[in-house]
Amino acid sequence: MPVKASGWFNTPMSDVERTALIRSGLAPTNDVLYPFWGRRANVSLFYGGRGGGKSEAVFDRLINNCINDNYFNCYYGRKVWETIHESCFETLIECIKKQGKKHLFHFSEASNSSMIVRCLANGNKFQPFGANKPDKLKSIKDPSHLVFEEFDQFDLKDIQDIFPTLRTEKAICELIAMFNTWGVRDNHWIFKLFFPDKYRGDDQNQYDLLENIEVAHYFVNYTDNHFINQEEYRKRLRLAAGGSDLVFESLANGAWGVEPNNNPWLFAFKHEKHVKPTPLLQAYPVYLSFDFNNDPFACVAMQASEMKGDSNSFIHFIREFVGAVKVEDMCQQIKAAFPASILYVTGDRSGQNEDLGRNQTLYQIIAGLLNINPRSQLNLNTANITHADSRLLCNAMFNNYPHLSIDPSCRNLVADCQIAKPDPNSKVASQLLKDRGIYKLDAFDAMRYHFQTYFNEWAKKVYFRVLKK
């Protein structure tokens, strides 16, 4: 039986006190999460800052459901399959042990474990899934529960593929999602689906997505957690915030869209300096840079003064085009945005590979769709420079160029500039951390290609005189 933790002991509740309650048949629960035990909404969202005990509270209740429900088939997972064992699987096992119910379940904690946890009394089970493993998604069959850890790292398409599997009539079906708010900005699909009043993306809803769907919200921070020393944890969060009040508000109090980045790849970027309205200047050409991925396909539009580096020179990133669209649709959007502008095109070296379906490269296709001269208006590189060289170039430009700005409408590009970081697991210096979750960085890559094409040689002469070409 669940009980509110605050009604029994002062914060923090010690392990001894907690164990005593559990052995007596009680389940001490943080007060703000207590309603979850008695409510089975279609969708339950657990979100906020760090240290709220979201995942533990979810698995505590689901273990009880697994033991007592007639039908329980819970799929739990993360965006990346390889991260499940050391995160939500270990949390699930720790909760089982904490409750003293290890003898009621069969599972293996080995590193190559299937991560399936089965109740010995009734055959009910927990099963893992990873959205980056199509075979794991296809194996989801008749779930009663879907549990998403780090919900914000999934793509909207993942949810569109997985959510419809939650349809069995054998149980009350629940989608349960946990995430921290710092990585969720106002154009994120979580806002689009579950907080439409906060959504500021381009793909606005055309109807009420939540009609006849009950959504339970559980906003929880470390100050709601009775099982930790809150004052000591606050000190840790202050340190993790690196001296930024804005980041601390996100980590500690659940402010949206302020992800801490202790090792920014673009360390010269300053939001207050570089993000400002930059309207289209009709007298200047528009430089387009493409990054070629299916989801999303990205293009960033830039304008720059002819004289480079003097006191009045500028670089303006004025528009971005980002989405799961075809090249034809992208070029239609570009032509509509810049109907009278002279256009120049650059981007990822991969666009020069032959498209076997049309016997043309992507750049040749783009040139035809935009009606530009391939010889004079395609400015392409024979190879992409290394991430280390690109990092040096981009930071030099942001740090030294007289007037460099990004329009606030370039939401993906601004977000990428804030979150981009070196891959800690890479042996290559300054290699960008990439995934197909938060760290897609497609708009960011398009910007990097701009600098490579139009400013690399100039920067070598002006900013890096000591470097050899």
H helical segments located in 294-410: 327-337, 362-370, 374-377, 387-400
pLDDT of residue 385: 94
Helix axes 54-68, 90-98, angle to 10 degrees: 70
Decide if pLDDT at 110 tops 80: yes
Decide if pLDDT at 430 tops 80: yes
Whole-number Å distance between alpha carbons of 6 and 178: 23
286, 236, 326, 241: which is closest to 407 by C-alpha? 286
Decide if pLDDT at 354 tops 50: yes
Please say whether the dihedral angle defined by the alpha carbons of residues 249, 255, 258 and 259, taken in this order, is positive or negative.
positive
Whole-number Å distance between alpha carbons of 94 and 102: 9
Report DSSP state, residue 433. P
pTM: 0.65
Q: What average pLDDT does the segment 277-286 reach?
A: 96
Decide if pLDDT at 467 tops 60: no
Whole-number Å distance between alpha carbons of 431 and 311: 33
pLDDT of residue 204: 83
Whole-number average pLDDT of the chain: 90
Whole-number Å distance between alpha carbons of 376 and 344: 8
Q: What average pLDDT does the segment 61-78 reach?
A: 96
Is the model more confident about 18 or about 133? 133
Whole-number Å distance between alpha carbons of 60 and 91: 10
Whole-number Å distance between alpha carbons of 444 and 413: 6
* Full strand arrangement of the beta sheet holding 145-149: 105-106, 117-119, 125-130, 73-78, 145-149, 174-180, 43-48, 215-219
Contacts of 164 (CB under 8 A, 6+ apart): none
Domains of the chain: 2-253 (3.40.50.300), 271-462 (3.30.420.280)
297, 288 contact by CB (below 8 A): no
Distance between the two ends of the chain, CA-based, in angstroms?
71
Helix axes 442-462, 387-400, angle to 10 degrees: 70
Whole-number Å distance between alpha carbons of 108 and 122: 18
pLDDT of residue 466: 47
Find tokens 């010269």 and name the residue. 268
- Provide the pLDDT confidence category of residue 10 given band limits of 50, 70 and 90: low
Q: What average pLDDT does the segment 410-430 reach?
A: 90
pLDDT of residue 357: 57
Decide if pLDDT at 31 tops 60: yes
Whole-number Å distance between alpha carbons of 106 and 217: 32
Decide if pLDDT at 241 tops 70: yes
Query: How many CB atoms are closer than 10 A to CB 461?
Result: 12
> Is 14 strand, coil or helix?
coil
Whole-number Å distance between alpha carbons of 275 and 413: 10
Whole-number Å distance between alpha carbons of 35 and 108: 32
